[in-house]
Amino acid sequence: MKPTDIKDPEYFHKVVDCQYACPAHTPVPEYIRLIAAKRYTDAYMINWESNVFPGILGRTCDRPCEPACRRGRVEEEPVAICRLKRVAADNKGDVKQHMPQGPFEMNGKKVALIGGGPASLTVARDLAPLGYEIHLYDEWNKGGGMMRTQIPAFRLPEEVLDEEVNYILDLGIHTHFNTYVDSMKEIIDKGYDAIFVGTGAPKGRDLKLPGREEANANVHIGIEFLANVAFEHVDKIGEKVIVLGGGNTAMDCCRTSRRIGGKEVNVVVRSPFESMKASPWEIEDAQREDIPIHNNMPPKEFVVEDGKLKGVIFEKVRAEYDENGRRSLVPTGESDVFIEADDVIIAIGQDTFCPWIERDLGIEFGKWDLPVLDKETFQSTLPHVFFGGDAAFGPENVITAVAHGHQAAVSIHHYCEGRDVKERLAPMTNLVSQKMGIHEWTYDSTVPDDERYLVPHEDKSITLKERKVEVELGFDQETGFKEAQRCLNCDVQTVFTEDKCIECDACMDICPTSCITFTHNGEEEDLRTRLKAPANNLTQDLYVSDVLPTARVMVKDEDVCLHCGLCAERCPTTAWDMQKFLYNVTKAH
Amino acid sequence: MSFVKPVFRHPELPTNEIGYAQADYEGAISTLCAGCGHDSISASIMEACFEMNIEPHKIAKVSGIGCSSKAPTYFLSNSHGFNSVHGRMPSVVTGAYLANRDLIYLGVSGDGDTASIGMGQFVHAIRRNLNMVYIVMNNGCYGLTKGQDSATQDLGAVNKAGVENQFHAIDLTALAMEQGATFVARSFSGDKNQLVPLLKSAMKHPGFAFIDVISPCVTFNNHNGSKKSYQFTRDHIEATASIDFVPERDEIKVDYGAGLSVHVELHDGSVIQLQKLDSDWDPTDRSSSVRHLHTSKAEGKILTGLLYIDPKSQELHELQQTSTTPLNTMREDILNPGEEALASINQSFR
């Protein structure tokens, strides 16, 4: 193998598994260390700069970082990254003084943002300090988009949402609330220099089944139901509720139902439990509230008697997979199941909805009626119109919308300055030795064996009565510290300098997870089999040095490195050094 | 500075045939200097014991005083251990071995502990063919007392203070061979491919198995002018043969070439397989080995590998025809048959 090019910013970025997996590439270990040091404000600001909504995401994020966490490869559970973020948000001091302070010197450019959700708000935050006059349009009376309409208050208190939305609106954003934009042409005619569409995926899918029409009064679409509850247009539901669907929206619907009158709430999913789209922790939370989940039962028919919904008939199926892994649901032949219901909520997915964009404006639409976009710049076929969030490539999550927003803001800024929209600056990176004295590091290099701490919950008897009482209480500072200490500091990189190495083997001997091997070079496939421990995780790179005096090379399998610094502590010549790698995605501001 | 090794290990590491993980052979985290050769030797010992499927409690590690003699703390925490008086490790092993012949005895010593204060004990342990592995972690200096020249410091070597050594070094391997040791080897801490099979062979050898391991002292004897540095050793090292230890159950690999492949069969059927680099040398012939050692030395080379082995070695208990049952497991009434038995023995001499 060729010697690893550690100057490539993506090499060490990839070693920081959590940050690499995060769509917004938040420097996770950096803020976790600050939490351990009780520097909550600083930890919050690192998050705020990267993901804009630390308090919101610390409660509701889909956490792509956690399955990626290296800790999950050496023991059962990853670090509770998401809930640590909330610790920063809960305990922060005055953060506003660290944010850009308006009024900003205007640059004379006007940008319209359609939709007030996370993508648009991110664009607003990135562009406002640069002097753009930002006009934000939303159909509701407040900003936040789906974070307000689709995430129930018992998961995300309104105060938290308002606070973080207002940090952005306070940057001098011109808000046009209670304004449903029903014509793109009208917006274009207003002469904005750029337009950003962040209208999400506001259309819940329906289910065309026998009896659907007749039962209409008691059949609800999931996200509409959630929005109606959030805006207090709906405050009760029948005692017997069926929720159809296995995603996070279904979990929110069933738990909301339990709080507004639902006593027997059943979630029914057409596919097996393992393939449910909902996050495992949201499924657990639903089960904890006595909500059974029935799997392998596609609905067949709404049963209506005397014009009133009685329940739903379900078929029983099992999943079979062909050689390509494609699933088909095959009837088991068992008799159908009838479940009684006063109300049924359909939460089987949602789609983007853009009939308000006239099709003769030059904005092309492609497959699934999604806009034709450049995948990196988010620019549509009409050069001054950009898309982001769910409206761009279909439903994802908040953190993805934020990542889109940052990139779209860069594009809009370039576009308005007359620069090449495709131009993207390299990320900011920094690599600094953590050596402090002979064998001391500026980071806490010990690896405690504590198991993942559980977030305490408010008593069920309270939360099921009061819809707005938050279920999760968050870690207290002490538990937050202990959980933070579980972080392996993967951003503190093991950096090897071959011309200092005397090949004493000390690093190889001490490494607790057998990551380091000195051997003769070979092709990657061959090298992976010849290491001290098999390097079977192909998603993790091998760090290979240049040839050493004994004609061998140093090979380090990054897979389960604990970043404990022992290799560097046992190195007599500092050929190994622990160096902190900071990687920041370049944003417009 | 770390004082504890993290508990996590690579999840895909295999266990050995008796179900032990590599971690079961580990010791406390080393407090020796970073880069010390001794730590590599410790790693080789752990590797050899793991691969030989030895239960850790079947090993006793005994040492004297010095950096080397601290090393047993850093491997095999689950084994028996005795850190004895300076230079007196062989006496303690002798006593322990007489009481319990069932354990594998790893004597760990250094150049000071063996070539100076312990010289008297060393030669007598050889003379008795005590069944043990005697490892000297040889760095040519007294690392624990700031690096003064030891008796194995090479003639002409410059110490860290800049003073050239005027005295001839004691060559412990030559001495051991002269004294009649039945297994003599030399190795280098930086060459695990050689050291691990040597350790395995030594543990299987019935009798005194001596391994002199050059183990650079990174703090006091690893500079230009040193003759026991990593650099100097690598530049001057020469092996007698490549060595492979084949346990009795495994099949022996094919011969490499006429006259160069040698198989030495041990008493339990396991085999030391050597691929010689010099066709004139016979590892089972003492005078041939002594000659080979001297020739290399005259050429300025450091000869490593297995130097000599007596396949017909008879260790202390065999020579003494002692009971095959370890004495420490015998009941007191058998060990001490009482006054009547003594009287009858005395009577037989009258």
User: Within an 8 Å CB–CB cutoff, is residue B73 touching chain A?
Assistant: no
**Are A217 and A330 in a shared domain?**
yes
Give the pLDDT band of residue A221 (cuts 50, 70, 90). Answer: very high
pLDDT given for residue B253 in this prediction: 57
Q: Structurally, how many domains does chain A consist of?
A: 2
**Are A338 and A366 in a shared domain?**
no
pLDDT given for residue B263 in this prediction: 84
Tokens, residue A90: 């809960």
Q: Domain containing B124: what range?
A: 22-318
**Are A290 and A376 in a shared domain?**
no
Tokens, residue B241: 């043969």
Residue B348 belongs to some domain of the structure: no
Report the alpha-carbon distance of residue B216 to residue B135 in Å, rounded: 15
Report the alpha-carbon distance of residue A502 to residue A492 in Å, rounded: 23
Q: Taking all residues of chain A, what is their mean pLDDT, rounded to a whole number?
A: 95
Q: What is the 3-state secondary structure (H, E, C) of A389-418?
A: CHHHHCCCCHHHHHHHHHHHHHHHHHHHHC
Q: Is B329 exposed, middle or buried (0-12, 13-18, 19+ CB in 10 A)?
A: exposed
Q: At which of A383, A399, A417 does a domain end? A: A417
Residue B345 belongs to some domain of the structure: no
Q: Region A515-539: what's the mean pLDDT? A: 95
Tokens, residue B90: 């062989």
Q: Does residue A303 sit in helix, strand or coil?
A: strand
User: Within an 8 Å CB–CB cutoff, is residue B9 touching chain A?
Assistant: yes
Angle, helix B37-51 to helix B192-204, in steps of 10 degrees: 50
pLDDT given for residue B259 in this prediction: 62
Report the alpha-carbon distance of residue B18 to residue B8 in Å, rounded: 21
pLDDT given for residue B2 in this prediction: 86
pLDDT given for residue A324 in this prediction: 87
**Are A340 and A224 in a shared domain?**
yes
Report the alpha-carbon distance of residue A465 to residue B77 in Å, rounded: 57
| Res A238 pLDDT > 90 | yes
pLDDT given for residue A73 in this prediction: 96
Judge: B12–A534 Cβ closer than 8 Å, yes or no.
yes
pLDDT given for residue B255 in this prediction: 52
How confident is the model over A387-408, as pLDDT tens digits? 999 999 999 999 999 999 999 9
Q: Region A193-219: what's the mean pLDDT? A: 93
Interface test with chain B among A532, A570, A573, A578, by most B beta carbons within 10 Å: A570
How is chain A split among helix, strand and coil, in percent rounded to 5?
30, 20, 50
Judge: A449–B7 Cβ closer than 8 Å, yes or no.
yes
pLDDT given for residue B273 in this prediction: 86
How confident is the model over A408-441, as pLDDT tens digits? 999 999 999 999 999 989 999 999 999 998 778 9
Tokens, residue B286: 């003492």
Judge: B234–A550 Cβ closer than 8 Å, yes or no.
yes
Judge: A570–B222 Cβ closer than 8 Å, yes or no.
no
Residue B329 belongs to some domain of the structure: no
**Are A248 and A378 in a shared domain?**
no
- Which chain B residues are within 8 Å of A440, Cβ to Cβ? 1
**Are A282 and A170 in a shared domain?**
no
Taking the CA of residue B238 and the nearest CA in chain A, the distance in Å comes to: 14
Residue B150 belongs to some domain of the structure: yes
Judge: B5–A566 Cβ closer than 8 Å, yes or no.
yes
Angle, helix A28-36 to helix A477-485, in steps of 10 degrees: 130
Residue A390 belongs to some domain of the structure: yes
Element (H, E) at A267: strand A264-268
User: Within an 8 Å CB–CB cutoff, is residue B224 touching chain A?
Assistant: no
Q: How far is CA B230 from CA A322, A509, B188, in A?
A: 59, 16, 9
**Are A358 and A315 in a shared domain?**
no
Q: Which residue in this structure is represented by tokens 């909902």?
A: A278
For residue A126, give the CATH number of its domain: 3.50.50.60
Residue B100 belongs to some domain of the structure: yes
Alpha helices (H) along A260-356: 280-288
**Are A244 and A266 in a shared domain?**
yes
Nearest residue of chain A to residue B215 (CA atoms) = A504
Residue A140 belongs to some domain of the structure: yes
Beta-carbon count within 10 A of A320 CB: 10
pLDDT given for residue B264 in this prediction: 86
Q: At which of A400, A417, A434 does a domain end? A: A417
Looking from the CA of B261 toward its CB, the CA atoms found within 13 Å total 10
**Are A194 and A214 in a shared domain?**
no
Residue B342 belongs to some domain of the structure: no
Closest CB from A449, A536, A572 relative to B12? A536
A119 Cβ contact list (under 8 Å, min separation 6): A196, A198, A200, A388, A389, A390, A391, A392, A401, A402, A404, A405, A408
Tokens, residue A512: 């607790």
**Are A244 and A321 in a shared domain?**
yes
| Res A363 pLDDT > 80 | yes
Nearest residue of chain B to residue A501 (CA atoms) = B35
Judge: B9–A514 Cβ closer than 8 Å, yes or no.
yes
Cis peptide before A202 (omega within 30 of 0): no
pLDDT given for residue B258 in this prediction: 53
Judge: B35–A440 Cβ closer than 8 Å, yes or no.
no
**Are A118 and A175 in a shared domain?**
yes
Report the alpha-carbon distance of residue A79 to residue A482 in Å, rounded: 10
How confident is the model over A42-92, as pLDDT tens digits? 999 999 999 999 999 999 999 999 999 999 999 999 999 999 999 999 999
Q: Name residues 228-247 of chain B within 8 A of A (Cβ).
A: 230-231, 234
Judge: B10–A560 Cβ closer than 8 Å, yes or no.
yes
For residue B94, give the CATH number of its domain: 3.40.50.970
Q: Return phi, psi of residue A408, to 5°.
A: -65, -35
Q: What percentage of chain A exceeds 70 in pLDDT?
A: 100
A451 Cβ contact list (under 8 Å, min separation 6): A75, A76, A77
**Are A224 and A308 in a shared domain?**
yes
Tokens, residue A583: 């990687």
CB A410 within 8 Å of CB A586? yes
Q: Return phi, psi of residue A569, to 5°.
A: -70, -35
Residue A484 belongs to some domain of the structure: no
Report the alpha-carbon distance of residue A540 to residue A566 in Å, rounded: 21
Q: Compute and round to an integer the Cα radius of gyration of chain A.
A: 26
DSSP string of A39-50?
Answer: -HHHHHHHHHHH
Q: Domain containing A214: what range?
A: 204-349
Q: Does residue B200 sit in helix, strand or coil?
A: helix
Judge: B37–A504 Cβ closer than 8 Å, yes or no.
yes
Report the alpha-carbon distance of residue B281 to residue B303 in Å, rounded: 12
Query: What pTM value is reported for the model?
Result: 0.90
pLDDT given for residue B41 in this prediction: 97
Report the alpha-carbon distance of residue A502 to residue A519 in Å, rounded: 14
Residue A25 belongs to some domain of the structure: no
B7 Cβ contact list (under 8 Å, min separation 6): A447, A449, A512
Judge: A446–B43 Cβ closer than 8 Å, yes or no.
no
Residue B341 belongs to some domain of the structure: no
Cα angle, residue A461 at apex, residues A470 and A222 outer, rounded to 5°? 55
* Amino acid residing at A139: E
How confident is the model over A478-523, as pLDDT tens digits? 999 999 999 999 999 999 999 999 999 999 999 999 999 999 999 9
Instruction: Give CA torsion, residues A16, A22, A27, A33, to 10 deg.
Output: -80
Residue A194 belongs to some domain of the structure: yes
Looking from the CA of A62 toward its CB, the CA atoms found within 13 Å total 19
A244 Cβ contact list (under 8 Å, min separation 6): A207, A250, A268, A299, A312, A344, A345, A346, A347, A348
Closest CB from B8, B11, B230 relative to A504? B230
Residue A136 belongs to some domain of the structure: yes
Interface test with chain A among B1, B3, B7, B8, by most A beta carbons within 10 Å: B8
Residue A552 belongs to some domain of the structure: no
Residue A299 belongs to some domain of the structure: yes
Give the pLDDT band of residue A448 (cuts 50, 70, 90). Answer: very high
CB–CB contacts below 8 A, A to B: 102
CA-based nearest residue to B102, from B335, B332, B329: B329
Q: Region A526-545: what's the mean pLDDT? A: 96
How confident is the model over B36-87, as pLDDT tens digits? 999 999 999 999 999 999 999 999 999 999 999 999 999 999 999 999 999 9
The predicted complex's ipTM stands at 0.90
DSSP string of A337-384?
Answer: EEEE-SEEEE-S-EE---TTS-TTSS--B-GGGPBP--TTT-B-SSTT
Residue B347 belongs to some domain of the structure: no
Q: Return phi, psi of residue A287, to 5°.
A: -65, -35
Positions of chain B with pLDDT under 50: none
Q: Structurally, how many domains does chain B consist of?
A: 1
Judge: A512–B222 Cβ closer than 8 Å, yes or no.
no
Closest CB from B33, B190, B192 relative to A572? B33
